[in-house]
């Protein structure tokens, strides 16, 4: 069994590391994750909110795994993911992709969909979608 790769997708931006105030909105097969931007590290962001828009989502979830749980190896990916607090695409063989969570199913899953994972301060967002865009 192979280990999946974690490709970091948030280059030049991130969620606020202390209070991201994340919110999930569903519109048909689109899921929007909105959060406060990290203006401490990325000062050019101005105190704005960002959104990640995921298209043709088959399933999504947000659960309460937080940074403390990740550092205590309570995450199903253990220390496989390079770091807490980043937005990843999980690529490659992933036997734990669906985990032991109750997913919100929107569309029947398709094997070619991409798996996205965002470790926020006090929660973790995941979804399977065709693509994503950042809205500022």
Number of independent structural domains in the chain: 1
pLDDT digits (tens, 9 = 90+) for 97-130: 777 678 899 988 677 899 999 999 889 999 999 9
In angstroms and rounded to an integer, the radius of gyration of the C-alpha atoms of the chain is 14
Query: What integer pLDDT is reported at residue 55 of this predicted model?
Result: 96
pLDDT of residue 45: 57
CA distance 33 to 11: 17
Return contacts of 92-99, CB within 8 angstroms, 24+ apart: 92/2, 92/3, 92/4, 92/5, 93/1, 93/2, 93/3, 93/4, 94/4, 95/1
| pLDDT the model gives residue 2 | 66
What is the per-residue pLDDT across 57-109, written as a single tens digit (0 to 9) for each? 999 999 888 778 777 777 777 667 778 889 999 998 887 777 767 889 998 86
Q: Does pTM surpass 0.85?
A: yes
Residue-range definition of the domain harbouring residue 85 = 5-135
Residue 8, pLDDT above cutoff 80: yes
| Cβ burial 105-127 (10 Å sphere, 16+ → b, else e) | ebeeeeeebebbbbbbbebbbbb
Of the two residues 24 and 66, the one the predictor is more confident about is: 24
């Amino acid at each position: 069994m192979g280990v999946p790769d974690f490709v970091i997708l948030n280059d030049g931006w991130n969620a606020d590391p202390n209070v991201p105030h994340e919110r999930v909105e569903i519109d048909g097969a689109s899921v929007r994750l909105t959060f406060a931007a990290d203006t401490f590290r990325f000062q050019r962001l101005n105190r704005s909110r960002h959104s990640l828009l995921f298209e043709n989502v088959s399933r999504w979830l947000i659960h309460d795994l937080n940074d403390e749980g990740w550092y205590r190896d309570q995450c199903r990916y253990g220390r496989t993911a390079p770091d807490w607090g980043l937005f990843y695409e999980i690529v490659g063989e992933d036997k734990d992709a669906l985990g032991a969570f109750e997913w919100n199913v929107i569309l029947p899953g398709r094997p070619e969909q991409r798996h996205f994972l965002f470790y926020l301060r006090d929660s973790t967002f995941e979804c399977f979608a065709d693509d994503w865009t950042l809205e500022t």
